[in-house]
Structure 1
Amino acid sequence: MDVVEMTTKLISTPSLPGDEGRVAELVKEFLSYVGVDKVFIDSYGDVIAVVKGGGLGSVVVEGHLDTVDVGDLKQWSVKPFSGEVIEGRVYGRGAADMKGAIAAQIKALEHVKSLDVDLYYVYTVYEEIAEGVALSQTLKETLRLKPDVVITGEATSLNLGVGHRGRSVVKLSLTGKTAHASMPYEGINALEAAAQAILKVSELNKGLPTHPALGSETAVATLINCSPKVQPQIPDNCEVLVDHRLLPQTKLDDLMKLYSKLCNEVTYLKGVYCEASINKETLKTWRGVELEVVEFFPGWINNDVSMLREVLRSVKASYSNASRHYWKFSTDLVATAGAEGIPSLGLGPGDERMAHKPNEYVEVIELRKAVEIYPRMLKSLNDYVVSKAR
């Protein structure tokens, strides 16, 4: 099956987080066509394929099955699940993020020659909500594997992805005292305190650390929830969720000190009780298994000069304009490179700026070029792993 046809079929199979079952079965079917040694779906709902090599190491090729929702249909000029090909582009939700890459990774297996290392293809659930969590569980629990290298297919416009900021969701819990809205002076308004906290989160951006390649850390309030939700009553409880993008050097303790200080300032100004914590949630996979998520996902950067030199050389053999790429968004590699220190990198067709937008697309020429590039990359990584083992 042609890579474009595969991409269209994947796009035509909706796969919101927690509902990836149909696309998982389709990916499993595609993998079985290209002749892997073993393919199965684990208890978390991730699709796993094994290609046995010489056993001198292991390389994981990974991507995610889920996509975000389509949003306002009025902003789409094509049907979001059509996978329609128009003027050299495949359109639809997930085209760039990242069903086109999955199709190219699988199609490329037809051209991968026997390697000294074993290959594992892992396609994960719930990346859009909790990147890296399902990948981490599958590597540790299902495969019981710490690979030598992990490569993702997240969109890079065929450049070599070598790092990105991490992400944390910080919860600010503000507690005041209810009162009748006609007598606000009798209470302590948690909503007003939350507004003050949001302003202070915005002010944090003036002093957050920066990195020459990854840019600055950023902080932005994204959600607020207050109670009681009664119009003539002042709320006594509010929660504000903050998306904080992290540089690799920022640790959990650093982040907590920053937001505890912010809470102390809000308490001083508004008289509320304010507590900062890392947000936690429980996600149920399409297979019914629960994933416990602590939303602190560390940033990373690959500084292995010899690895990057050789891999980039292999990419340039097919795409001479290739260069190093640093993603703006976060990926599953927070679990491997960020948390475990496993050498990781990525390359994928598509422009990351198309992710989550209406009229998302991936260029056909990039899909075909990715199919050509991936076997070269895998041979380069094979040689790297074997050389390290000697």
Structure 2
Amino acid sequence: MERLNYDEAFIDEFGNVHGVVEGHEDGAVMLNSHVDTVGYGDRDQWDHDPYAATIEDGQLYGLGASDMKCAMASMVYGGAALANLDLEPEHDVYVTGELMEEVSEGHAMKYVVEELDVDWEAVVIGEASEMDVKRGHRGRCELRIDLQGASCHASAPERGINPLYHAAEIIDRIEELNEETNDHDFLGAGTIAATNVEVDTPSNNAVPAGATIYVDRRLTIGEDEATAHAELEDAIAAAREEYGNDVDASVETLTFDRPTWRGYELESKKYYPMWLLEEDHPLVQDTYEVAETVLDSAVEIRKWTFSTSGNYTMGVAEIPTIGFGPSREEWAHAANERVDVEDVVRACDVYAGLGLEL
């Protein structure tokens, strides 16, 4: 970005990278992409080397091609177009490469919003949107239920308290709770699922001393962290109906505190609120008009299926947030991850237009 005539380019203390094109009024607009990726999974499922960035039939294949190096590239060069125009944007335009989104989306944005001295007017997230506009998504919460038992030799299980039996009752109730979540005509229904069980046991020939159930809760309108906790307390109560006061259980929201590559430490809950911008909101309509004008094609206003860092920028910080990006949702986190090269190029123009318009 220094070579592309940005007014400023820097790496913050957390480790995020920013390029700035200065505007003539107070406030700033962020064009946001994350620069980390998931792993490539099973190498045998890839037709191309995930690290080779192979281009075939107009598509670029490789790890992060869809999620989301493509948007980062488009934003960098869209910002460069702004930097080299005679026109000056109204607000400062930040092109931001975010860390650690794949392990805790919004974690890095907590630092950016709380620690950088910037008055954010709007955020544009470049996650895959099929070149449409996306105005929200469900939230999520990662939780654990810790169960305490009493270990003993498995030859005499009556001497102990087996937390696995309590866990089974709780999991049965969680399955039932999945049919009782809220629904929303745009974002869809919330979901709850038990995803893993860990056991603290001295031996396969012993009653366990403890067990932990991990739970994924997807949150729609009217649901939040407290909703998820109440549901899991309900599941624990179902186990107590069967096993009485032998059930010793507690519910906790997981946290994330891994140091960044710069050694910066920040703790945040793994609770990611849902968010939704109304369709008639100026940011939605301005983004729609810029995209449709620049692309000269029909553009839809939709939602994301997955979660993004909008859960922090809009869901927590209440900064108006919108989504537009090249590539497709179904290509993210998949073997043969790819993006249409033409869409990456066309997205540059859209991001430049958004920098001027917003």
TM-score, normalised by the number of residues in structure 2? 0.93
Q: Partner amino acid for 2:288?
A: L
SS of aligned partner of 1:32: coil
Whether 1:313 aligns to 2:289 is yes
SS at match of 2:150: coil
Matched, 1:274 2:249: yes
Alpha-carbon contact 1:266-1:274 (below 8 Å) kept: no
- The residue number in structure 2 matching 1:148 is 121
How far apart are 1:327 and its partner, in Å? 0.6
**Aligned equivalents of 2:242 and 2:6: distance in 1?**
62
* Cα distance in 2, alignment partners of residues 34 and 107 from structure 1: 8
1:249 aligned onto 2:222: yes
4+ residue segments displaced more than 4 Å:
none
Matches within 5 A, 1:1-390: 31-112=1-82, 113-141=87-115, 143-270=116-243, 271-303=246-278, 305-307=280-282, 308-319=284-295, 320-381=297-358
Structure 1: runs of 5 or more not aligned: 1-30, 382-390
Q: Secondary structure at the match of 1:170?
A: strand
1:232-261 C-alpha deviation (Å, 9 max, x unpaired): 111121111111111243233222222211
Partners of 2:35 and 2:48 lie apart in 1 by: 22
- In the alignment, is the contact (CA less than 8 A) between 2:184 and 2:221 conserved in 1? no
* 3-state SS of 2:314 partner: helix
Q: Distance in 1 between matches of 2:279 and 2:188?
A: 20
Q: Secondary structure at the match of 2:72?
A: helix
- Are the counterparts in 2 of residues 58 and 147 from structure 1 also a CA contact under 8 Å? yes
**Maintained 8 Å contact 2:88/2:356:** no
Contact 1:259–1:276 (8 Å) recurs in 2: yes
> Which structure 2 residue ranges, 5 or more long, are not aligned?
none
SS in 2 for 1:259: helix
Equivalent-residue separation in structure 2 for 1:91 and 1:214 (angstroms): 30
User: Which residue pairs with 1:388 in the alignment?
Assistant: none
Paired residue secondary structure (1:210): coil
8 Å contact kept, 1:53–1:114: yes
The one-letter code sitting in structure 2 at the alignment partner of 1:149 is A
Q: Secondary structure, in 3 states, of the residue corresponding to 1:220?
A: strand
Total equivalences in the alignment: 350
Residue matched to 1:26: none
Residue by residue, what CA displacement relative to the aligned partner does 1:257-278 show, whole Å, maximum 9, x if unpaired? 2221112212332432121121
Superposition CA RMSD, Å = 1.5
Change in CA separation of 1:342 and 1:318 when aligned onto 2, cut-off 3 Å:
same
Answer whether contact 1:248 1:338 (CA < 8 A) is retained: no
Report the Cα distance in structure 2 between the residues aligned to 1:209 and 1:263, rounded to whole angstroms: 21
Partner of 1:10 in structure 2?
none
Give the TM-score, by structure 1 length: 0.86
Contact 1:267 1:274 in 2 (8 A): no
| Contact 2:139–2:311 (Cα < 8 Å) also in 1 | yes
